[in-house]
Amino acid sequence: MHHVHKFLIIMLHNVKNSVQIVGHVGKDVVLTSFENGNKKATAIVATNESYTDKKGEKIKQTAWHKVIAWGKKAEEIAVCFKKGTEVAIHGKLSNRTYTDTSGTTRYVTEIVVTEFYKIAKITNHTAEAVPF
């Protein structure tokens, strides 16, 4: 039992800030280069969920996620992510705040990408996640 408990603690430690989404890129990536040579890619990815309401009508909900990547990963994403591309993303959530030009504090939640895959349609009923 002690080994199972230790395994669960290790497993939970590795996934405590982990997020995975599958969705479509909403617009082409913005790649920013900094004076120190580092690069940042910013993308928007839409995920869709649907449910049936009390009237029996199917309701579709779309959520938009800000996705960022740094360095070499940013360069890869800038090349691979095009508007409409279906992607699978693994990363971690990052929360930050900033003050806009009017003095208002803004809160931002972003997904920092660690891995990503293109979803390739094989047939009308199956799909496969493949590296870019």
Report the 3 state secondary structure along 58-87: EEEEEEEEEEEEEHHHHHHHHHHCCCCCEE
Task: Quote the mean pLDDT of the chain.
Answer: 86
Q: How many domains does the chain have?
A: 1
What does the pLDDT look like over 54-89, one tens digit per residue? Answer: 888 999 999 999 999 999 999 999 999 999 999 999
CATH number at 63 reads 2.40.50.140
Boundaries of domain holding 98 = 18-130
Tell me, yes or no, whether 6 lies in a domain.
no
pLDDT of residue 5: 47
Tell me, yes or no, whether 5 lies in a domain.
no
What whole-number distance in Å separates Cα of residue 112 and Cα of residue 95?
Answer: 10
pLDDT of residue 12: 53
What is this structure's pTM? 0.74
Tell me, yes or no, whether 38 lies in a domain.
yes
Mean predicted confidence (pLDDT) in 101-125: 87
Please determine, for residue 8, whether its predicted confidence score (pLDDT) is greater than 90.
Answer: no
